[in-house]
Structures are given as structure tokens and as C-alpha cells.
Amino acid sequence: MNLVIHLLIAIWLISTPWLSIGQSSVNSHPFNTHLICQSKAEISTLIFAMPDAVEDKDFHDFKDTIGLIRPDTSLNLYTILLYGKGIKARKDVWINGDDVYIYYSLKDGLQIDSIVNSSAATAIATFYKMKAIKEHNLDSLNAFLFDQLRVLYTSVFSTEIAQMMIRYNFGNFDLLERLQNELDHQQPSIKNNKFSQNEKLKGILAFKDLKISDLVLANKDSVSATIKFDTTQYTLIDFWFSACPPCLRDHKLLKEKYSQFKDKSVQIVGISNDQDFQKWKHTIDIHQHPWVNYIETDSTSKIFRFASSFPSYYVLDRQGNIVKYSTRIEEILYFLGI
């Protein structure tokens, strides 16, 4: 399977002109593109444009099938936007080649069903299928992403891979420093493009000595609080906020398994970045969390140093050292044997 992946990506590397270093950002040769909607919805306007570069010419009155001419770019990343009655949907697509057909539908947002006649789209779809297979284990996923980063080293898509690695490994500074070292050696045309993750990564690593215990916290009585790690074998830190549906969904599972956490000598500590203290307090009262909850009170929030998305989970040992990080509660439960 890995051989097939590398073969497809190698074909993509050879056949995709946007990977050429030094190519101008927009070529003079236009390409036919067809967008076909496969679901019924009250859509009025479709926009097809390069990201963050929408012009008047990119607006189209909606039809089930729209044919248009797109400029070929060294990036080959495009944005589809749909607007209508109660509808505002967006999807980014990586495509190359001529006479490309994009089939899409509206199912919990804009979904790309298939893309025909684009080697870039085929290779990236294969990449995401393999990524999905590896996602059950973070070590396996990281090995795969590092491997693909090197394969696509001269491609702008490497910035997408770097973004994934940052999201999955937000608290793993050893790995993020390895990633920074890889990105530092990319050619300027890749390293300095507007989607580059270099500056974001440097910003994260600048705070690598900050510890969770350094966060300024308060309990629901507005009393300053600190986390004690030496009372249990492990501490599970749950970064969340009140208007986060995945956070509240995971809280139901944590409540169901709370006795197992106690049996394993694991304390749970919720840390919220809610801006509305009363809303946060109301949420924990309504849901009756059996574990302790704190809210960050520092006006210069430092939670985002630990959580690029919510929920985010950290397991710490008695000394307050991070031993596990994940955005998936199932992976945390597996690690703790719960």
C-alpha cells in the first residue's frame, strides 16, 4: 500500500506544473473547470477563486452545472464558496490540469464527492485516505506525515502537512522542533508563501518553557487556584469552553467513566478559556461535572499555547510533566487503560 502511495505521489510530482520552483504565480494559459452540484438547495451565488483573492469575475449566478475558465497557478489551491437562503458554505480544493470536473453536494456543509481529470486531486485524496488509516495512533500518524512532508518537500502542499502536524502535536515540543528544522531547509518560494506555517511554529516554540502550572486560574467562586499534580498518579487536563459541542459531548463520556479514572488514580481538571465567567459557571453547574473546573483569568491568554483546537487533552505525571497529548478522548482513554 505504501508503494502505491509513493508511486501516485511521484506521478503527481512529475506531472504537476505548480510544483516547479521559480514558476510565476499565475500562468497565461487558462483551464476549463466544471462544477456540478449533486443536491438540491436554494443557492443563489457560487464563488470560485484563489484563496483570499476574490474578485468580481469570480462571482457566478448559481446553476447545477457551471463551466468556467480558471487561471493556472503555481499554488493550484482554489476556494469554492456557496451562498443562498440559510446557506453559507466553503471548501478548498487542490486541482491541476485541463477539463477538470468537480462534483459536490451539500451534506453538513459543502462536500466534494469526486474530482475528475486532476492528478493533484487524486494524489491528495490518496494522501487523506492513508492519513485516516493512521489516525488511530499518533506515533504512526506522525511517522506517515513526516514521510509525506519529505516526499512533498518542494510542494506548497507541504504547508498543509505542517499545519496538521502542529494541530496533532501542540504540546510535543521535541517533535515540533524537528518539524521546524525540516521546514527551515525548504526553498524560499515554499517557506515564504502566504500559507507557510514557519512563523506560527516559531511563535509556539517561543513559549516552550511555559508549563500548564504557570496558567493563571480561578475556580467558580472566583478564588485563585493552582493545580496539584502530586496527589494522583496522573492528571488529565481538559481544555474546553462552553460553546464547544465536541467538548460537551466528551464530557458525557468522562462522567460515565469517572469512577474508572478514580480507580486508576487519575484526577481530571477542566480548564476553560470562556470569556464570560457566568456562562462558564452556569455550564458546569448544569452539567454537574464531578471533577474540578478552572477558568483562565489572565488577560493575555496563554491557553492557546497549549490548545490550537478544542477539546485538547494532556496527561501529566506527578511532577507535572506532559506524558500524552491528543485532541481525541478515545486515544487518551486507551493510553490510560480506561
List of domains in the chain: 2-121 (2.60.40.2890), 135-205 (no CATH), 212-336 (3.40.30.10)
pTM: 0.62
Per-residue confidence (pLDDT) for residue 20, from 0 to 100: 33
What residue type is 209 in one-letter code? D
DSSP letter for 6, please: H
Rounded CA separation 151/32 (Å): 29
- 10 Å CB burial of residue 224 (0-12, 13-18, 19+) is exposed
DSSP character string of 70-81: EEEESS-EEEEE
Per-residue confidence (pLDDT) for residue 116, from 0 to 100: 96
β 224-225/292-296 pair status: unpaired
Cα angle 277, 280, 281; round to 5: 85
DSSP character string of 170-224: TT-HHHHHHHHHHHHTS-HHHHTSTT--HHHHHHHHTTTT--GGGS-EE-TTS-E
DSSP letter for 58, please: G
Per-residue confidence (pLDDT) for residue 306, from 0 to 100: 82
Per-residue confidence (pLDDT) for residue 8, from 0 to 100: 45
Listed in sequence order, the DSSP H helices in the chain are 2-15, 119-134, 138-151, 157-168, 173-184, 188-191, 198-205, 245-256, 258-263, 277-287, 329-336
- Is 267 within 8 Å of 308 (Cβ atoms)? no
- Is 210 within 8 Å of 305 (Cβ atoms)? yes
Per-residue confidence (pLDDT) for residue 72, from 0 to 100: 64
Radius of gyration of the chain (CA): 23
What residue type is 114 in one-letter code? S
- Cell readout for 193 is 508563501
Q: At 280, phi and psi to the nearest 5?
A: -60, -45
Instruction: Encode the chain (338 residues) as per-residue pLDDT tens digits.
Output: 444 444 444 444 334 433 332 233 444 456 899 999 999 888 999 999 988 788 899 999 999 999 998 876 666 889 999 999 888 999 999 998 889 999 999 988 899 999 999 988 998 999 999 999 988 888 899 999 999 999 888 888 999 999 999 888 877 888 999 999 999 988 888 888 878 888 888 878 877 777 888 889 999 999 999 898 888 999 999 999 999 999 999 999 999 999 999 999 999 999 999 999 999 999 999 999 999 999 999 876 778 778 878 999 999 999 888 888 888 899 999 999 99
Rounded CA separation 131/81 (Å): 26
Per-residue confidence (pLDDT) for residue 154, from 0 to 100: 84
Buried b (16+ CB within 10 A) or exposed e, 98-126: eebbbebebeeebeeeebebbbbbbbbeb
> Which residue in this structure is represented by grid cell 451534506?
107
Per-residue confidence (pLDDT) for residue 27, from 0 to 100: 45
- Is 98 within 8 Å of 31 (Cβ atoms)? yes
